[in-house]
């Protein structure tokens, strides 16, 4: 198969590229320099020229607060571009794997893990544009696997783990919110799940929306404490605080734990526990 990856320089795209090394399938790794996914002509040309069978769309406008200031750009990248990719791969009768987010939720009150059929009610521009992206893919008529994920981190890029590693090493104390609950996701684990679905063609007859994050539940406060403990930065006094103590342009989901039953039962996906994956990621960072 010929597999086109967009956003290949991001956290998820980087791990897909690493895990794809030595694959029997051919991966075409692109980022903004190689492919403008907002250009219908450019996308269609590459998809047909490279005889693409699968697109894995990792590209997105992910600056949650920045989206409030640049809603048109967020809509273009998070909704317009996925629609263009869907149209192009439909012409090849191929598959689009599109990455979405727990931010499509937030307006509803949840206290149990969220299933795929819960209606989205985003509370900000980022979540709204990602929901529009899902809708664009589904309405295109292409074969698709939409995977919603949450709290993504890796050894590279801007993410909570790397930020906390730095701050807990530098500062004597930190305040971290405890009233937002979810589950972290190690980019490597999500990349491995995607490659298993794609390379083993498990998607055939199983298109739809799925959820993937690591197993378990925690608050950002719990997450920060675990990062500091693993890294040996226990001298930093991490204190719980309310979200209201950090004024923001966006109201983030208070509870966005994703139910992963469907992806496990459909594809046989094995989902690691969040603390185990966090230890591996931090060990990799510390070995650099």
* Residues forming the active site: 126
Distance between CA atoms of residues 198 and 204, nearest Å: 9
Record the tokens describing residue 91, joined without a space: 């012409």
Contact 197, 203 (CB under 8 A): yes
Distance between CA atoms of residues 262 and 277, nearest Å: 21
Helices 220-231 and 160-170, packing angle to 10 deg? 60
The alpha carbons of the chain give a radius of gyration, in whole angstroms, of 19
Contact 190, 246 (CB under 8 A): no
Q: Is 192 exposed, middle or buried (0-12, 13-18, 19+ CB in 10 A)?
A: middle
Distance between CA atoms of residues 97 and 104, nearest Å: 17
Query: SS3 sequence, 219-284?
Result: EHHHHHHHHHHHHCCCCCEEEEECHHHCCCCCCCCCECCECCHHHHHHHCCCCCEHHHHHHHHHHH
Secondary structure letter of residue 141 according to DSSP: T
Q: Which H/E stretch holds residue 285? A: helix 274-287
């Amino acid at each position: 198969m010929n597999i086109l990856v967009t956003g290949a320089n991001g956290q998820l795209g980087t791990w897909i590229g690493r895990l794809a090394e030595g694959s029997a399938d051919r991966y075409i790794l692109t980022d903004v320099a190689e492919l403008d996914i907002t250009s219908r002509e450019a996308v269609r040309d590459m998809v047909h020229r490279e005889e693409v069978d699968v697109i894995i769309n990792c590209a997105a406008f992910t600056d949650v607060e920045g989206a409030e200031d640049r809603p048109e750009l967020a809509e273009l990248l998070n909704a317009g571009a996925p629609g263009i990719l869907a149209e192009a791969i439909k012409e090849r009768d191929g598959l689009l794997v599109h990455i979405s987010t727990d931010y499509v939720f937030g307006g509803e009150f949840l206290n149990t893990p969220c299933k795929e059929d819960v209606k989205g009610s985003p509370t900000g521009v980022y979540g709204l544009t990602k929901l529009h992206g899902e809708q664009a893919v589904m309405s295109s008529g292409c074969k698709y696997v939409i995977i919603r994920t949450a709290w993504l981190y890796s050894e590279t890029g801007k993410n909570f783990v790397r930020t906390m590693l730095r701050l807990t090493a530098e500062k004597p104390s930190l305040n971290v919110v405890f009233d937002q609950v979810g589950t972290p996701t190690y980019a490597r684990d999500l990349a491995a799940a995607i490659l298993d679905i794609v390379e083993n063609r498990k998607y055939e007859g199983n298109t739809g929306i799925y959820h993937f994050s690591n197993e378990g539940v925690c608050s950002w406060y719990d997450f920060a404490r675990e990062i500091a403990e693993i890294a040996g930065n226990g001298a930093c006094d991490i204190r719980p605080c309310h979200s209201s103590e950090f004024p923001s342009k966006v109201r983030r989901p208070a509870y966005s734990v994703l139910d992963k039953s469907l992806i496990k039962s459909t594809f046989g996906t094995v989902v690691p526990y969040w603390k185990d994956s966090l230890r591996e990621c931090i060990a990799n960072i510390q070995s650099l």
